[in-house]
């Protein structure tokens, strides 16, 4: 039951991540602001050891409350682009106390089955990213105020659930102090280097696809676009959850390689998707939704496994920050390509990511 509450709180609080993109017609710059804020927040949390100095459950709650406030402020900032971007930046900073801290809390309760727990947890975050689309389906033509208010209420409830019904587990992992000088030492380990490079390739594809998959769906069908967009993210939830269960038997590396292989193949054939019959195109997009994120929690598991024991905190912080910086590049690059050349060939830009990630991880024999 406790795992259910952990997953539910992550789902509720993570719903603010894409809220403004859905409310304000999918502006890629708004998502990039959240990503940049997440990078800043992650570094601040690591440098000051916030989730070690204070109760992770209380940190999660505080960040959920602040995230809800910054998110709902978009209701009053829709016409003021600079202030809206700053509010999304602030949301990203608070998400650094929700996503990674939520994983730390999960690890404190389920250290022996962390790959499965992370599968559910990351899956919940993916489902949360798509939830604003479901709100839009039922919110009177996608009223921005309802989307932002609804996700803010959920974000607050997620923090309350984490504080009241979960708390800090008995196996709370003690993080190491952030040390920028150990980067070279970390990447000398072949397993950590392979897992990190695999993660970087995965991140090259992931958030850019999340940002523009709804536009791809719109080019495939004019009916129920928001519902199909939500189902795309729901497919990602299924991929993470099933992948976490499979990883208990096969290991995280196998699941990560499979996810990269399938998502890379769909990237390769992406130019023909819009020319296929509607049903076939939607099936392929849903398969892509499953595969593109199924490997995400497994990379977290691998990075934790291979990181030098004395520098786990620094290792994961650096890897996450590099990964999310990469997402800003591809989100903006894909948006520019779509503006100039259209969407048909745009997703080929993502293909180098899964190829690079698959080769990097495959070369390391665990």
Contact between 23 and 74 (Cβ < 8 Å) = yes
The span from the CA of 205 to the CA of 324, in Å, is 11
pLDDT computed for residue 173 by the predictor: 66
What SS3 state is found at 112? Answer: coil
pLDDT computed for residue 57 by the predictor: 93
pLDDT computed for residue 214 by the predictor: 94
CA dist 182 → 176, 186, 187, 192, 301 (Å): 12, 6, 9, 13, 20
CA dist 265 → 74, 118, 149, 160, 270 (Å): 38, 25, 38, 41, 9
pLDDT computed for residue 365 by the predictor: 64
**Average pLDDT in the chain:** 90
CA dist 198 → 4, 75, 248, 317 (Å): 29, 38, 20, 16
Residue 141 has pLDDT above 60, yes or no: no
Domains (range + CATH), the chain: 1-175 (1.20.1250.20), 181-366 (1.20.1250.20)
Chain segment 246-283, per-residue pLDDT in tens: 988 898 999 999 999 999 999 999 999 999 999 999 99
- The residue ranges of DSSP E strands in 172-322, in sequence order, are none
pLDDT computed for residue 206 by the predictor: 96
Q: How confident is the model at residue 45 (pLDDT cuts 50, 70, 90)?
A: confident
pLDDT computed for residue 366 by the predictor: 57
Q: How far is CA 49 from the centre of its chain?
A: 22
Closest of 48, 252, 22 to residue 147, by C-alpha: 22
Chain segment 49-97, per-residue pLDDT in tens: 887 788 989 999 999 999 999 999 999 886 788 999 999 999 999 999 9
pLDDT computed for residue 157 by the predictor: 97
Which comes out higher in pLDDT, residue 347 or 223? 347
Chain segment 294-309, per-residue pLDDT in tens: 999 899 888 878 877 6
Chain segment 100-120, per-residue pLDDT in tens: 888 888 888 888 777 778 888
Which comes out higher in pLDDT, residue 189 or 89? 89
Q: How confident is the model at residue 363 (pLDDT cuts 50, 70, 90)?
A: confident
The span from the CA of 13 to the CA of 332, in Å, is 25
pLDDT computed for residue 26 by the predictor: 61
pLDDT computed for residue 176 by the predictor: 66
pLDDT computed for residue 186 by the predictor: 81
Mean pLDDT, rounded, for 20-24 = 88
């Amino acid at each position: 039951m406790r795992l259910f509450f952990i997953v539910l709180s992550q789902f509720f609080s993570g719903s603010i991540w894409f809220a403004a993109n859905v409310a304000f017609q999918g502006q890629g710059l708004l998502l990039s602001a959240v990503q940049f804020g997440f990078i800043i927040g992650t570094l601040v949390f690591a440098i000051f050891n916030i989730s070690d100095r204070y109760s992770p459950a209380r940190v999660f709650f505080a960040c959920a409350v602040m995230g809800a406030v910054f998110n709902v402020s978009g209701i009053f900032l829709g016409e003021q682009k600079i202030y809206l971007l700053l509010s999304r930046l602030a949301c990203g900073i608070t998400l650094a106390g929700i996503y990674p801290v939520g994983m730390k809390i999960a690890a404190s309760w389920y250290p022996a089955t962390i790959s499965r727990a992370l599968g559910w947890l990351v899956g919940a975050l993916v489902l949360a990213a798509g939830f604003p689309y479901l709100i839009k389906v039922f919110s009177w033509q996608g009223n921005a105020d309802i989307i932002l208010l609804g996700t803010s209420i959920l974000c607050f409830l997620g923090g309350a659930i984490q504080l009241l019904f979960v708390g800090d587990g008995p196996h709370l992992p003690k993080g190491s102090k952030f040390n920028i000088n150990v980067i070279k030492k970390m990447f000398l380990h072949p397993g950590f280097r392979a897992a990190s490079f695999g993660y970087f390739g995965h991140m090259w594809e992931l958030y850019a696809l999340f940002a523009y998959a709804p536009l791809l769906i719109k080019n495939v069908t004019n009916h129920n676009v928001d519902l199909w967009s939500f189902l795309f993210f729901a497919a990602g939830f299924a991929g993470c959850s099933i992948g976490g269960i499979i990883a208990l038997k096969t290991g995280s590396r196998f699941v990560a390689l499979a996810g990269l292989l399938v998502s890379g193949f769909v990237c390769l054939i992406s130019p023909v998707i819009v020319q296929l019959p509607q049903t076939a195109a939607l099936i392929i997009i849903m398969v892509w939704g499953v595969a593109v994120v199924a490997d995400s929690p497994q990379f977290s598991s691998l990075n934790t496994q291979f990181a030098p024991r004395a520098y786990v905190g620094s290792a994961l912080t650096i890897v996450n920050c590099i990964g999310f910086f990469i997402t800003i590049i591809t989100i903006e690059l894909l948006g520019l390509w779509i503006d100039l050349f259209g969407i048909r060939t745009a997703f080929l830009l993502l293909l180098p990511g899964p190829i690079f990630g698959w080769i990097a991880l495959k070369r390391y024999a665990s």
